[in-house]
Amino acid sequence: SNPKIVTAHHMVGNTYPYTIDTWLNDINLAHSNGIDAFALNIGTDSWQPGQVDNAYQAAQNSGTGFKLFISFDMTVMPCSSAQDASALRDYITRYASHPNQLMYNGNVFASTFAGDTCTFGSDSSVDGWKSQFIDQLTGNNKVHFVPAFFSDPNSFKDFDNVIDGVYNWNSGWPVELTTQTATTLLQPLGGALTPNLNSTVLNNLVGSIQPDDTYLSGLTQMPSDSQTYMAAVSPWFFTHYGPNSFNKNWIYMSNDHLYNRRWETIIANRSSIDIVEIVTWNDYGESHYIGPIEGDQPNSQDWVNGFDHTAWLDMTSYYATAFKTGSFPNITQDKLYLWSRPHPRDATASNDPVGKPQSFQLMEDVVFAVVMAASPCTVTLSTNTSSSQTFNVSSGVTKLSIPITAGGTMYGKIERDGNTVVELDPQFTFDPNPTTYNYNAMVAYATNNQMTTPPVEGTPGNNTSSSSVVSSSSVSSVLVLTPSPSPSSSSSSLSSSLPLSPSPSPPPSPSSSLPPSSSSSLPPSSSSSLPLSSSSSLPPSPSTSPSPSGSPSSQSTPSPSPTQSGSESGTYRFKRLHRRFSQ
């Protein structure tokens, strides 16, 4: 049987300036944090094949056994003619025998973002994928195909002998929660969407197994055996593009320790989940990156620069180990993680023509904390000099949170036997008067034996807490730069135990920037070889249902929106909003 695998979605479209060494750094960093492979999300930019070559070469150079696989972004790759399928097949055959290609059941692993409506010139998408992709890849090129199709799970059976499983992209967030649906859920209870809501009804949807169950039910209807299920986990979601750009301006509810709780759900149900894909490594435009801020941003600097997320990457190995082995590792080093948003939920920006994002009312004004404790300790969290809360924490992982108000800051410390062993005091202020709207998270962490600094640029541990990393006994550590928050509280805990190719080509010059098309349909252009044509399309309104959940990546660079600064030499791919199908 195949081992459990943890992958991360890597947007090739954001890597225009990468060298082999940049890829090597990403691969080593991911590998050291429990990630086994990158899903290389590719689009149609002419320079992307060279970067894919670089990635495979770097993986081989790393000597780690790190794997890669292609994830075709079918929201931008043409798929209306038989000729269009040849570009997809070329990627498969090029890397099928590469030592760092991810293989599954002895075949070349491949995935997509969308694609369930692609016909490749056939009468149906089923016939198109089968005749132009699956049936033409045989022998050493045979694929194990696990796409992210945004169709009714009851239709999966129609793709029998075409797909070998499914990737549930939207399982990473409670995408069914909008301001309207949340209000409907709260009304019978007399509740309302306040900045310090902390609603059990809504928080129970965070990290839920429900979206997985829906897809798993669809897979069981397929006649073929051994269907692979790939689940998503993501820490956050906020995107802020105006109508003159990608026209994407919404959030998904990311409260209540989304990343931790989703991992806990996945681990508790690991017998049904074969692969986990982290969304994402570097999709800056949607604020769910866990890798360093580097490469080319898709005009997202206004809400990304200074908002390092590598603290989420640091906690990943704990959960990845538990998923792969079935046992949580023993915690031998105290760590404190803290995150919050840069301004109050209801603040009014002084100069932001894009406006507040859809569903912003789902956000809470809270500092979230996670404590990884080697032994019992006391944790103090505060958001100003006169407001703090102290928690008695057991060994293992504890999740905490405290409310924050305008002008607040983030601070936390771990104490044991009267001594401060970890202290975290990031430079952060919960700004009551923002210039532009930013619902991204500032994330920081500290340990008790080393200094943690952010890259330059640009349990089930069932204890609940908000975290900010503080300096500590031997060496203090501070990660992440920028803003500051204020408090509210909640806690819970969980302890754990564990057993536990081709030569590269330099990045070519970028293709010319084009404004996004005003159409939301797939571009009809075709190409038959690896240098692919570039195009893009606009996402539908987030309120549209059913339609795709986003994850921008790369393709044509749009004109910057009024709130965006800087120019981009690279290109950006958007992912349309897909609502998870609900029966």
3-state secondary structure labels for all residues of 41-63 = EECCCCCHHHHHHHHHHHHHHHC
Q: Which two tokens stand for residue 489?
A: 């509280």
Its sign, for the CA torsion 573, 575, 576, 577, is: negative
3-state secondary structure labels for all residues of 208-266 = CCHHHHHHHHHHHCCCCCCCEEEEEECCCCEEECCCCCCCCEEECCCCCCHHHHHHHHH
State how far the Cα of 436 lies from the Cα of 377, in Å rounded to an integer: 40
Q: What share of the chain is helix, strand, coil (3-state, %, to 5)?
A: 25, 20, 55
- The CA angle 11-295-29, to the nearest 5 degrees, is 75
DSSP state of 157: G
Q: Is 486 helix (H, G, I), strand (E, B) or coil?
A: coil
Q: pLDDT per residue over 353-405, tens digit each? A: 999 999 999 999 999 999 999 999 999 999 998 889 999 999 999 999 999 99
Residues 6+ apart with CB under 8 A from 297: 14, 284, 285, 304, 458, 566, 568
pLDDT in tens, the chain (583 residues): 789 999 999 999 999 999 999 999 999 999 999 999 999 999 999 999 999 999 999 999 999 999 999 999 999 999 999 999 999 999 999 999 999 999 999 999 999 999 999 999 999 999 999 999 999 999 999 999 999 999 999 999 999 999 999 999 999 999 988 888 888 887 776 667 766 665 677 777 888 899 999 999 999 999 877 699 999 999 999 999 999 999 999 999 998 999 999 999 999 999 999 999 999 999 999 999 999 999 999 999 999 999 999 999 999 999 999 999 999 999 999 999 999 999 999 999 999 999 999 999 999 999 999 999 999 999 999 999 888 999 999 999 999 999 999 999 999 999 999 999 999 999 899 999 999 999 999 999 999 865 344 433 333 334 433 333 332 222 222 332 223 333 333 444 333 332 233 333 333 333 322 223 222 222 223 333 322 222 322 233 333 333 344 443 333 333 333 333 333 333 333 443 333 333 2
State how far the Cα of 215 lies from the Cα of 195, in Å rounded to an integer: 33
Q: pLDDT per residue over 401-446, tens digit each? A: 999 999 999 999 999 999 999 999 998 999 999 999 999 999 999 9
Contact of 297 with 26, CB cutoff 8 Å: no
531: amino acid identity, one letter: P
Query: How would you class 378 by CB atoms within 10 Å of its CB: exposed for 0-12, middle for 13-18, buried for 19 or more?
Result: middle
Strands (E) across 316-386 are located at 335-340, 366-373, 377-384
